[in-house]
Amino acid sequence: TLLNVVVDHKLKIEGFGACEGTLACSTCHVILDESNYNKLGIVSDEEMDLLDLAFGLTETSRLGCQIC
Ligand code: FES
Protein backbone atom coordinates (compact mmCIF):
# COMPACT_ATOMS: atom_id res chain seq x y z
CA THR A 1 0.00 0.00 0.00
CA LEU A 2 0.98 3.64 -0.14
CA LEU A 3 1.28 3.51 3.65
CA ASN A 4 3.83 0.71 3.30
CA VAL A 5 5.85 2.85 0.90
CA VAL A 6 5.92 5.70 3.41
CA VAL A 7 6.94 3.37 6.25
CA ASP A 8 9.46 1.34 4.23
CA HIS A 9 11.21 4.47 3.00
CA LYS A 10 11.11 6.08 6.45
CA LEU A 11 9.40 9.15 5.02
CA LYS A 12 8.65 11.61 7.78
CA ILE A 13 5.08 12.77 7.21
CA GLU A 14 3.73 14.07 10.52
CA GLY A 15 0.93 11.84 11.81
CA PHE A 16 0.56 9.87 8.58
CA GLY A 17 -0.81 6.38 9.16
CA ALA A 18 -1.47 6.72 12.87
CA CYS A 19 -3.50 3.49 13.09
CA GLU A 20 -1.01 1.57 10.95
CA GLY A 21 -3.59 0.65 8.35
CA THR A 22 -6.27 -0.78 10.60
CA LEU A 23 -8.94 1.62 9.32
CA ALA A 24 -9.24 3.43 12.63
CA CYS A 25 -8.08 6.93 11.66
CA SER A 26 -7.98 8.97 8.48
CA THR A 27 -4.49 10.36 8.82
CA CYS A 28 -3.41 8.58 5.63
CA HIS A 29 -5.85 10.64 3.55
CA VAL A 30 -4.43 11.46 0.14
CA ILE A 31 -5.88 13.39 -2.78
CA LEU A 32 -5.10 11.91 -6.17
CA ASP A 33 -5.38 13.35 -9.63
CA GLU A 34 -8.35 11.99 -11.54
CA SER A 35 -6.24 9.81 -13.81
CA ASN A 36 -4.61 7.93 -10.94
CA TYR A 37 -7.82 7.80 -8.94
CA ASN A 38 -9.56 6.04 -11.81
CA LYS A 39 -6.88 3.34 -11.93
CA LEU A 40 -7.71 2.17 -8.41
CA GLY A 41 -10.33 -0.29 -7.29
CA ILE A 42 -13.60 0.63 -5.69
CA VAL A 43 -13.77 2.23 -2.25
CA SER A 44 -14.98 -0.16 0.44
CA ASP A 45 -17.76 0.86 2.80
CA GLU A 46 -15.26 0.89 5.67
CA GLU A 47 -12.89 3.18 3.80
CA MET A 48 -15.76 5.46 2.80
CA ASP A 49 -16.88 5.78 6.41
CA LEU A 50 -13.44 7.02 7.42
CA LEU A 51 -13.04 9.22 4.37
CA ASP A 52 -16.17 11.04 5.50
CA LEU A 53 -14.17 12.12 8.57
CA ALA A 54 -11.12 13.26 6.61
CA PHE A 55 -10.22 16.94 6.47
CA GLY A 56 -10.51 18.40 2.99
CA LEU A 57 -12.31 15.46 1.43
CA THR A 58 -12.49 15.62 -2.38
CA GLU A 59 -14.00 13.51 -5.15
CA THR A 60 -10.61 11.86 -5.65
CA SER A 61 -9.70 11.24 -2.01
CA ARG A 62 -8.53 7.83 -0.83
CA LEU A 63 -6.87 6.41 2.24
CA GLY A 64 -3.22 5.64 1.66
CA CYS A 65 -3.41 2.42 3.63
CA GLN A 66 -6.04 1.05 1.27
CA ILE A 67 -4.44 1.71 -2.12
CA CYS A 68 -1.65 -0.11 -3.91
FE1 FES B 1 -5.39 4.78 9.66
FE2 FES B 1 -5.16 4.48 7.02
S3 FES B 1 -3.61 4.54 8.49
S4 FES B 1 -6.95 4.60 8.18
CA of 50 to the centre of ligand 1 (A): 9
Residues 1-50 pLDDT 10s: 999 999 999 999 999 999 999 999 999 999 999 999 999 999 999 999 99
CA of 34 to the centre of ligand 1 (A): 21
Ligand 1 nearest-atom number relative to CA 65: 2
Q: What per-residue string of b and e applies to 30-41 under the rule 16 or more CB within 10 Å gives b?
A: bebeeeebeeee
ipTM score for this prediction = 0.98
The pTM assigned to this predicted structure is 0.93
CA of 23 to the centre of ligand 1 (A): 5
Ligand 1 nearest-atom number relative to CA 26: 4
